[in-house]
Chain A
Amino acid sequence: MARDVGSLGPVGSVGAVIAALALQVYLPQYLGFIGNLDLPLLVAIYLALMSRNVIVGLLIGAAIGLAQDSLTDGSVGVFGILKTVIGYLAGTISLFMEVDHPGARSVLVALFFLIHQVLFWIVETVLLGNEISMQPVLTLILAAAHAGLALAVFSLLDRLKKTS
């Protein structure tokens, strides 16, 4: 665990998270479709997978989720819960399978995105009582988009890790 995360380094990890959050906030002003993407989710998945540790993974997810919540006007804790679960799952899976392969990463990212969206719907509707509609087709398209984008993001982060 310490080996992989340490390779990226705390500064690199924090920098990646901050960059993802900043781009998530900044880019949609000029590129509207970016608003449908969840860049912090990709970073959380990457860091959790690379950590090879369940607890570290869920804590990374919780931290990124709470940070993302703090940048929204919604309740703090929604994305924290979601990304905690995603970090936990990513950390768990990283213990049992090789996650350096691009195909495996893409599939995992797509899967995690779907889980993320389902959990989001459950939290919003069941726990908070907000009526939101589930759009399956759009969700699947976005899952594929995240899978494709993850290849580029993960590759970039891999290079940062090697550089560091």
Chain B
Amino acid sequence: MLEFFARYRNVSVLVAVLFLQFVLLGYQVKRNDDVRVLRVWTVAAITPIEIALKAVSSFVTAPWQEYVWLVDTREQNQQLREQVSRLKLENQEFRRALTRFGREAELVDFQTKILSESILAEAIGRGSNPNSKEIFLDKGSRHGVKSGMPVITPDGIAGNVQAVYGGASLVRLISDAHAGVGIVLEDSQTRGVMKGTGSGECRIDYVGDEIAVRVGEKVFTSGDDRIYPKGLAVGEVTRLEQGTEFQRIYVRPFAALDRLDDVLIVTAGIHEELPEIPRPQPPEYLMPSPSPSQDGADSGELGRNALESSQESAATEGQAPRTKWPVPMTDADRLKERYRAIGAAQGHRFGEGEPGTPPPDFNIGLIPFVGPNGQPASDHTAANRKPPGDDRPSDSESASESSIVDTGAGGSGGAGEAVQSSGEQSTEEAQSTPPTLAPQ
């Protein structure tokens, strides 16, 4: 050995000096992952050797261990099966615990959000009466629980304490047949009393038929019962039953009453504001705007043309044409139209005659307006006040039609068309023309 170093003295010294400096360098420098370069170099130098040795040993021993020496395999297999079963059970327990912790965290979060003071409780049992909806909680008088205190969950109210014991309390759920809650409906702000039905849902009585209640409407506590603080979520309307005077409103509680686990007992209730939710608005119809190119005096034609143009534009744009609404006319429009027709029938031009010239006869062209009972109808305008889309003729319209038949004027147009009895207007056109000259 010494001879080797003596023979290669220069190279040996070089290697030794370089080695020392490499060690010095590797000890100082760290990689990005905070590992010293010296360690990286060492591992990089050793690992390939280990891998090679492992490959060789596996090549030699694997056939023996995997195909020949299987004495303990069955026993190990049995042990592993048992271990897997045990671990599965543990996994399920951990999952349940995790879910439980999640619920408790949610409950604690809700507890910090509400204004009321409350204590956390856990449902430990059900009431012995199968027909009642009651649960036992693990908090009692020792924890400050008193009879009547409301019990709530983050989803909604659950019930109120009926009986208090040392370390437990009995809670009557809101779905119990004897339970009652003062509530307020979200949209109509109608107040009422919600009672349990003994089943999963609750019912609100004594809400008048005229109150508009919709399915899906939310129900909150009103605070009127002096038990539950105002503003807590209760449930939502699931169905309605109309009665002779009052309607029955069925409500599904938000709280999962049949599987309550962790709840809050409100020890000092404070009313809260109801959440502001945008209320649904009924649909609005926008009348077609009048065309500015038309003469303002001819309001009948004006409205008709506007309606037709809007229908044409709707058809052009690929939309379904709108329903033919009655042309909007005022009483002044009708009177003006009447005078114009009378003047045209007598060749009179308004505003051009000299003073003292006779006015036109305003009594011509009046259609005898006879009702079904033979009496003159007093107000024909009811025919014009039909709701949009109602094609059924009203009584006065029927009477008008009958009178028109009698006079032979044709159409429902009235006096104007009766005066111009030339039949220029078609029946279809006459139907779309407003009855402007009907008798007043």
Contact = CB atoms under 8 A, between A and B. Distances in A.
Partners in one complex: yes
Interface of A: 54-55, 58-59, 62, 66, 75-78, 80-81, 84-85, 88, 91-92, 123, 127-129
Contacts, number: 55
Contacts of B24: 76-77, 80
A88 B10 contact: yes
A158 B37 CA distance: 42
Contact of B25 (A59, A62, A75): A75
Closest 10 CB pairs of A and B: A77-B25, A54-B10, A77-B21, A77-B24, A80-B21, A75-B28, A88-B14, A81-B21, A55-B13, A75-B29
Contacts of B17: 58-59, 62, 84
A58 B13 contact: yes
B9 interface: yes
Given A58-B17, A84-B21, A92-B10, 8 more contacts: A62-B21, A75-B25, A77-B21, A80-B21, A81-B22, A84-B18, A85-B14, A128-B25
B178 interface: no
B386 to A, nearest CB: 87
Contacts of A77: 21-22, 24-25, 28
A58 B32 CA distance: 32
Contacts of A59: 13, 17
Identify which of B21, B24, B32, B37 gathers the most chain A CB atoms within 10 Å of its CB.
B21
Interface in B1-22: 9-10, 13-14, 17-18, 21-22
A77 B37 CA distance: 13
Identify which of A55, A76, A77, A129 gathers the most chain B CB atoms within 10 Å of its CB.
A77
A129 B31 contact: yes
B242 to A, nearest CB: 82
A52 B91 CA distance: 77
Contacts of B22: 77, 81, 127
Interface of B: 9-10, 13-14, 17-18, 21-22, 24-26, 28-29, 31-32, 37, 41
A76 B22 CA distance: 10
A59 B41 CA distance: 25
A75 B26 CA distance: 9
Which applies to chain A's interface (DSSP): helix, strand, loop or mixed?
A: helix
A54 B13 CA distance: 9
Contacts of A54: 10, 13-14
Given A55-B9, A127-B37, A128-B37, A84 B14 contact: yes
24 contacts: A54-B13, A58-B10, A58-B13, A58-B14, A59-B17, A75-B25, A75-B28, A76-B24, A76-B25, A76-B28, A77-B21, A77-B24, A78-B25, A80-B24, A84-B14, A84-B18, A84-B21, A88-B14, A127-B25, A127-B26, A127-B41, A128-B29, A128-B37, A129-B31
A107 B28 CA distance: 35
Contacts of A66: 21
Contacts of A80: 21, 24
Contacts of A55: 9-10, 13
A88 B12 CA distance: 11
A77 B24 CA distance: 6
A88 B14 CA distance: 7
Nearest to B31: A129
A92 B10 CA distance: 9
Contacts of B26: 127
Identify which of A59, A81, A123 gathers the most chain B CB atoms within 10 Å of its CB.
A81
A139 B29 CA distance: 26
Contacts of A78: 25
A128 B13 CA distance: 24
Nearest to A81: B21
B29 A81 contact: no
Contacts of A123: 25
Nearest to B28: A75
B24 to A, nearest CB: 4
Contacts of B25: 75-78, 81, 123, 127-128
B130 to A, nearest CB: 75
B18 A85 contact: yes
A56 B29 CA distance: 28
Nearest to A55: B13
B27 to A, nearest CB: 9
Identify which of B9, B24, B32, B37 gathers the most chain A CB atoms within 10 Å of its CB.
B24
Contacts of B14: 54, 58, 84-85, 88
A85 B9 CA distance: 15
B26 to A, nearest CB: 8
Contacts of A127: 22, 25-26, 37, 41
Contacts of A76: 24-25, 28
Nearest to A92: B10
Contacts of A62: 17, 21
A75 B31 CA distance: 13
Contacts of B29: 75, 128
A91 B32 CA distance: 38
B363 to A, nearest CB: 110
A75 B36 CA distance: 12
Contacts of B37: 127-129
Nearest to A58: B14
Given A75-B25, A75-B28, A129-B31, A81 B13 contact: no
